[in-house]
Amino acid sequence: MTLGIGLIGTGFMGKAHALAWRNARAVLGTVPEVRLELLCDTPADKATGFASQFGFARSTDDWRALVTDPQVDIVSITTPNRFHKEMALAALAAGKHVWCEKPMGLTLADGEAMAAAAAASGKTTMVGYNYIRNPAFRHAQKLVEAGRIGRLVHVRGIVDEDYQADPDLAWTWRARLEEAGLGTLGDLGCHLVSMLTGLCGPIESLVADMQTVHTTRPLPDGSGRGAVENEDTATALLRFASGVHGSLSTSRSAWGRKNRLGFELHGTKGMLVFDQERMNELQLYVNEGPKAEQGFRTILSGPEHGVYGAFCPAPGHQVGFNDLKVIEAAELLTAITTGTRPHPDFAAALEFEKVIHGIAESARTGQRVVLG
């Protein structure tokens, strides 16, 4: 069995998807073979050039032609946010499986429509939450499930980057609600939600605030300044259905932070600490043994940690961001061939988006939001 791949978009995430499709079988071996069938971007000469670079057989500048192409079985959507819903719905209607980058859409209603269409189609869907594929994170989940740090009581989560920290950075589509939707919550905060809920279970309610640090930015053509319509920072106090309490903070204007996606997870017997900027390390503290010898231990990722060994047989040699996308692609392929649900599919990813839109609602109203 071979599956034909159609890729829409050739930016950072488009390249990540192309690499993942090329490498999934080489790394993991057991997944079905894929054909890099059709690539779409505009203008047409750009699509042609990237098709050659990425190894796709054909190219087009018409995404509608791609999603209806009979040789395409899976559609990868890596375009700006405002296109996700329309492309995903069209691909599902054409009988394709869909791998879509986050966020699902601009609004919660977009996500709900996509989840409903996926359920009705019977096709396999997945949203691009690669950080929860990290072997270090999955080991943290196992430690939690085994009770290694006792009963969970509190969690602090943070995700910061500095790609919008400079006030003189030019205005882009990311500043517009109609093109980007939410700001740091849609770009970064949803990744943190995927981690925190993966450790502590669903979030029951929250109260939040958010701010726009730089309210205007210079227009690229030099004609003035454009308004920034979405948030640069957001903070929320969380209550989980499990009884855990915690906090979430996210900023896209945090100088010096490149991908600080991390958490402190407090239990009755110890603590787990993780930071994506040191993505192959997990810090574990357990309250046992002589007090004079207690302290945090650093667990370096190695072949004992799940899929890490498929990439490298030696501990401490590191996996990277694009490796996590390879794992993601492989899990989607496995789900398609076995008839199982990958995580997160559109239904599961919708739960993450309920949280980030709940944060935005709480910030606007000043009220606690109960998530249903």
Topology alike, domains 2-130 and 134-317+346-370: no
Preceding peptide of 80 cis, ω within 30°: no
Instruction: Return the pLDDT at 238.
Output: 98
Instruction: Assign domain 2-130 one CATH number from 3.65.10.10, 3.60.20.10, 3.40.50.2300, 3.40.50.720.
Output: 3.40.50.720
Residues 6+ apart with CB under 8 A from 86: none
Q: pLDDT below 70 — which residues of the chain?
A: none
* Closest C-alpha among 202, 201, 185, 187 to residue 236: 185
CA–CA separation, 108 and 176 (whole Å): 16
Instruction: Return the pLDDT at 372.
Output: 74
CATH 3.40.50.150 fits 134-317+346-370, yes or no: no
Instruction: Return the pLDDT at 122.
Output: 96
User: Which residue ranges make up each domain of the chain?
Assistant: 2-130, 134-317+346-370
Question: Is this structure's pTM higher than 0.75?
Answer: yes
Instruction: Return the pLDDT at 307.
Output: 97
Please state the φ and ψ torsions of residue 230, each to the nearest 5 degrees. -125, 180
Please state the φ and ψ torsions of residue 235, each to the nearest 5 degrees. -140, 140
Segment 286-327, tens digit of pLDDT: 999 999 999 999 999 999 999 999 999 999 999 999 999 999
Instruction: Return the pLDDT at 341.
Output: 96
Please state the φ and ψ torsions of residue 166, each to the nearest 5 degrees. -75, 120
Please state the φ and ψ torsions of residue 24, each to the nearest 5 degrees. -55, -50
- Here the tokens at position 52 are 């050659």
3-state DSSP of 322-364: HHHHHHHHHHHHHHHHHCCCCCCCHHHHHHHHHHHHHHHHHHH
Q: Give all strands of the β-sheet with 245-251 in edge-to-edge order.
A: 297-300, 281-286, 270-275, 260-267, 152-160, 245-251, 233-240, 203-211, 369-370
Instruction: Return the pLDDT at 176.
Output: 95
CA–CA separation, 345 and 124 (whole Å): 7
203-211 and 369-370 as β-strands: parallel, antiparallel, unpaired? antiparallel
